[in-house]
Amino acid sequence: MEENVVNEDVADDGSAAAEQANMDILLDVPLSVHVQVGQTRMPLREVLKLGPGSILRLNKNEGDGVELYINGRMIANGQIIQTPEGNIGVEVTSIVTRAERLRSVT
């Protein structure tokens, strides 16, 4: 069986260039990125008592990983780190598989 190979750089109709232009546009689309450290549920009565110095107990322990979400969908797991500049950041430790992403939608 013969395999057809197309060199996109030599396309007559410029479709490769058009595809690259479309990709360049998409690469500039801003996405919402957030990191979930943990979560908890609490009654409104307790929420109304929150103030400076309040402590929320989350469903995770110190040192547990965090989840990285893009546009509301979990795409990776990571660890909280301190950057050389002294800020906090997230080091990605694993990328969620396509099957796991699809399970999270349902």
Locate the domains of the chain by residue range: 32-105
Tell me the backbone φ, ψ of residue 3, rounded to 5 degrees.
-100, 130
Q: How far apart are the first and last CA of the chain?
A: 41
Check whether 106 has a pLDDT greater than 70.
no
Per-residue pLDDT of 54-67, as tens digits, reads 999 999 988 899 99
CA 12 to CA 9: how far, in whole Å? 9
CATH superfamily of 32-105: SpoA-like (2.30.330.10)
Helices (H), the chain: 15-27, 44-48, 98-105
User: What does the longest C-alpha to C-alpha distance in the chain come to?
Assistant: 72
More confident residue, 102 or 37: 37
